[in-house]
């Protein structure tokens, strides 16, 4: 809406600290206060006590449009200051900002910008104690003349005199004023700048717009912090503010709309940009020298279109066939993990004889699949497992010095989950205990000594080698034939394994320790029978997971059996007389408890050369 017969007057108040330019500075300017006042429609900016220094350049005062702004560049000042009271701005004034526009030790420049809600014409009056800038809203005719934008309207600064007759012509001979009406975008919001990193020099405080390349990460090395406080401003104006401050080109799509309410203090400008985009449902995407701002719907539709175009392009690419040899793993096992890498036209087959993969697909897909095979087909660590199955009397078992408290096990004591059927196994609710021993060599010597004293019996001591994460099974027992009926009712023979079965699945952790999944199972024929004359098996089994170091021993105990031993003493010949023999003999029954203990010792195998020979691979004592 155009303003006709009204005059707005604005006075900006503030002061600028004296800048110490150092030993190499030519001169130092001075500014005491900046005043803000308005009388009707007339705008007045008072820069009291400003002096550019000896031989300093005159002030550069001009206006910018889209949105309308008044720009005052004061040479000779090294540091800006916050104007005094900006909480209540006069009508027509949107905001005031200030920054070090040129941080030069010889000719520093401080810029003040007053954002207006309408175009204005300027009248600059130098005074003895400073500078006064007055502005009056343009008439309808003046606006058409003054604000015709040149072709490169988005440049940060356009050299040359673009003033018109509508501008008041100040005294060009004054050392304080230089007449120049450049047209360019300047942020309509208040922000102050300072280097984001201590290493960032002030020389790059105001890089020209477009000099940084968002497609290259190098522009991130000079990120400055900014403050921004707006309410109800258009998102386009906020994006222009960030672009002018950062010196990076920002382009918004046509469907980007909305108003922004934001207040941030001293935040890196990329985070400010992200916050603005997030609040509006937008996304900022770095490109070839430009940051593009689009809506999320546009981003999603473009990504889907890119993916669809890539699939269409892939469907037109020729197919190739390649043989990929597999060295350590089985090709059939790798096949299940690689099918997701194939295209819709791709095929993957296994050649069992050569343990190779045959893949037919596009060149890009084949290359990706080959790289995945090279990562998966690696040498697997091998683990040697030594087991000892020992039958001891209960008192001897408690004298072996086993620690039954393992804090890093899934269960230290597993109970109540076993299938105890026979009375031969004591404590039907019984407990299976899991422990650890550090020195298996000493344990082996103790077991041998106990066996010599008939206090222990080593049932079996097998040794087996397996790879990490592959199950190994040890069976010490027998297979009992059973007569069962098939689906047609015909009798068939089925073999049932009876004895001690130990299944071990080792896994090597990153720290070199070994996790063991243990499944011990003890089964036997029972003296009982079913009503139909069937066979009854007694079974005790458990599942647990333990973590031990290499050469440490995991111990499984708690499988207790009760044996009844009958002793008969008496006079020879007389104790054997029927009926009367009981008068000459004494019968005594003793209950003996025996415990089955399983010792499992895993050891890392560093190389194939360390594997034991055939005789040592499996021993059954």
Secondary structure letter of residue 312 according to DSSP: H
Lookup result for tokens 């004359």:
533
Q: How far apart are CA 267 and CA 467, in angstroms?
A: 55
Burial of 213 (0-12, 13-18, 19+ CB in 10 A): middle
pLDDT at 441: 66
Check residue 371 and give its pLDDT: 92
Q: What's the angle, vertex CA 494, arms to CA 489 and CA 500, rounded to 5?
A: 150
* 273 touches 229 (CB < 8 A): no
CA 84 – CA 93 distance, rounded (Å): 16
pLDDT at 527: 62
Tell me what pLDDT residue 621 has: 44
Beta-strand relationship, 224-234 and 194-195: antiparallel
Nearest one of 16, 27, 12, 114 to 74, comparing CA atoms: 16
Enter the tokens of residue 377.
Answer: 């087909």
With beta carbons less than 8 A apart as the criterion, state whether 103 and 21 touch. Answer: no
* CA-to-CA separations, 179 to 109, 160, 172, 382, in angstroms, rounded: 16, 10, 7, 85
Q: How far is CA 225 from the centre of its chain?
A: 27
The reported pTM is: 0.44
Identify the DSSP state of 604. E
Give yes or no for a contact between 8 and 120, defined as CB atoms under 8 angstroms apart. yes
Q: Which among 243, 280, 245 is positioned nearest to 259, based on CA atoms?
A: 280
Spatial CA neighbour of 279 closest among 293, 300, 265, 299: 293
Within 10 Å of residue 583's Cβ, how many Cβ atoms? 11
Residue 86 confidence (pLDDT): 65
Measuring CA to CA, how many Å separate 62 from each of 15, 132, 159, 182, 292?
21, 13, 12, 6, 30
Query: CA 391: distance to chain centroid?
Result: 52
Mean pLDDT per block of 10 residues along the chain (621 residues) reads 37 34 52 78 80 74 83 83 67 78 79 84 81 76 38 34 32 33 32 35 36 38 76 88 88 89 88 91 87 90 86 85 90 87 90 92 90 88 88 70 44 34 34 64 74 80 88 85 80 83 90 89 69 69 85 81 72 79 78 80 73 48 44
Answer whether 127's CB lies under 8 Å from 47's CB.
Answer: no
Backbone φ and ψ of 237, nearest 5°: -65, -40
Q: What pLDDT is recorded for position 84? A: 67
Question: Nearest Cα to 34, choosing from 59, 68, 65?
Answer: 59
Show the tokens assigned to 428: 């039907």
3-state secondary structure of 351: strand
Query: Domains in the chain, start-ordered, CATH in brackets?
Result: 33-185 (2.60.40.3500), 195-301 (3.55.50.30), 317-376 (3.30.1370.120), 383-617 (no CATH)
Token pair listed for 483: 């007569």
Q: Give the CB-side neighbour count of residue 372, counting CA atoms within 13 A.
A: 18
Please report the pLDDT score of residue 80 as a whole number.
77
Specify the pLDDT at position 47: 83
**Helix or strand run (H / E) with residue 280:** helix 269-280
**Closest to 275 measured CA to CA, from 238, 231, 243:** 238
Hey, what are 287's tokens? Answer: 């490109």
Using alpha carbons, list the distances in angstroms from residue 597 to 93, 190, 349, 387, 514. 91, 81, 48, 10, 21
In whole angstroms, what separates CA 136 from the centre of its chain? 57
Cβ–Cβ under 8 Å, residues 458 and 390: yes
- Which segments within 242-305 are labelled E, that is strand? 250-252, 259-268, 282-286, 291-295
| Helix, strand or coil, per DSSP, at residue 194 | strand
Task: Considering only the C-alpha atoms of the chain, give the largest distance between any 2 of them, rounded to a whole number of Å.
Answer: 153
Asked if 372 contacts 338 with a C-beta cutoff of 8 angstroms, the reply is: yes
CA-CA distance, 323 to 350, in Å (whole number)? 10
Q: Give the integer Cα–Cα distance in Å for 601 and 587.
A: 45
């Amino acid at each position: 809406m155009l303003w006709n017969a009204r005059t707005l007057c604005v006075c900006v108040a503030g002061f600028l600290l004296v800048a110490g330019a150092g030993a190499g500075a030519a001169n130092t300017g001075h500014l005491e206060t900046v005043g803000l006042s308005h009388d009707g429609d007339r705008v007045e900016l008072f820069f009291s006590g400003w002096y550019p220094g000896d031989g300093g350049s005159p002030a550069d005062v001009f206006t910018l449009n889209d949105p309308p702004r008044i720009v005052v560049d004061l040479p000779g000042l090294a540091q800006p200051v916050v104007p005094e009271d900006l909480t209540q701005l006069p009508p027509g004034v949107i905001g005031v900002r200030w920054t070090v526009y040129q941080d030069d030790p010889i000719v520093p420049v401080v810029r003040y910008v007053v954002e207006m809600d309408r175009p204005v014409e300027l009248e600059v009056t130098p005074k003895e104690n400073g500078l006064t800038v007055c502005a009056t809203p343009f008439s309808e005719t003046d606006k058409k003349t003054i604000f015709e934008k040149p072709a490169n309207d988005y440049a940060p600064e356009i050299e040359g005199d673009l003033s018109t007759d509508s501008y008041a012509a100040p005294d060009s001979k004054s050392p304080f004023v230089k007449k120049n009406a450049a047209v360019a975008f300047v942020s309509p919001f208040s922000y102050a700048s300072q280097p984001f990193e201590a290493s960032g020099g002030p020389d790059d405080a105001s890089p020209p717009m477009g000099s940084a390349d968002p497609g290259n990460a190098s522009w991130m090395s000079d990120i400055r912090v900014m403050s921004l406080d707006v309410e109800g401003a258009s998102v386009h104006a906020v994006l222009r503010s960030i672009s002018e401050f950062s010196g990076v080109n920002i382009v918004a799509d046509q469907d980007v709309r909305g108003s922004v309410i934001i207040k941030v203090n001293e935040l890196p400008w990329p985070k400010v940009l992200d916050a603005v985009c997030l609040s509006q449902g937008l996304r900022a995407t770095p490109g070839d020298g430009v940051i593009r701002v689009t809506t999320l719907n546009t981003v999603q539709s473009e990504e889907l279109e890119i993916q669809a175009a890539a699939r269409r392009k892939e469907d037109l690419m020729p197919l190739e066939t390649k043989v990929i040899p597999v060295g350590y793993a089985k090709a059939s096992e790798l096949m299940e993990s690689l099918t997701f890498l194939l295209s819709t036209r791709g095929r993957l087959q296994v050649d069992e004889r050569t343990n190779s993969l045959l893949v037919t697909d596009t060149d890009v897909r084949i290359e990706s699949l080959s790289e995945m095979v090279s990562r998966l087909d690696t040498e697997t660590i091998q683990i040697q497992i030594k087991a000892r199955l020992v039958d001891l009397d209960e008192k001897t078992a408690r004298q072996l010095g086993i620690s039954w408290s393992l804090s890093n096990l899934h269960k230290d004591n597993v109970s109540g989950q076993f299938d105890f059927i026979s009375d031969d196994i004591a404590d039907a609710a019984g407990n299976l205990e899991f422990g650890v021993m550090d020195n298996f060599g000493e344990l082996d010597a103790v077991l041998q000594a106990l066996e010599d004293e008939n206090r222990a019996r080593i049932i079996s001591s097998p040794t087996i080698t397996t790879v990490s994460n592959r199950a190994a099974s040890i069976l010490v027992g027998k297979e009992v034939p059973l007569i069962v009926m098939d689906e047609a009712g015909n009798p068939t023979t089925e073999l049932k394994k009876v004895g001690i079965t130990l299944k071990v699945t080792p896994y090597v952790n990153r720290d070199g320790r070994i996790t063991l999944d243990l499944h011990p199972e003890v089964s036997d024929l029972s003296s009982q029978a079913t009503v139909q004359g069937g066979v009854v098996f007694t079974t005790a089994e458990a599942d647990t997971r333990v973590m031990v170091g290499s050469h440490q021993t995991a111990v499984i105990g708690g499988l207790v059996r009760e044996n009844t031993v009958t002793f008969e003493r008496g006079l020879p010949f007389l104790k054997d007389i029927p009926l009367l023999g009981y008068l000459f003999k004494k019968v005594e029954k003793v209950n003996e408890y025996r415990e089955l203990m399983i010792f499992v010792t895993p050891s890392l195998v560093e190389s194939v050369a360390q594997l034991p020979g055939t005789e040592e691979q499996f021993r059954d004592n």
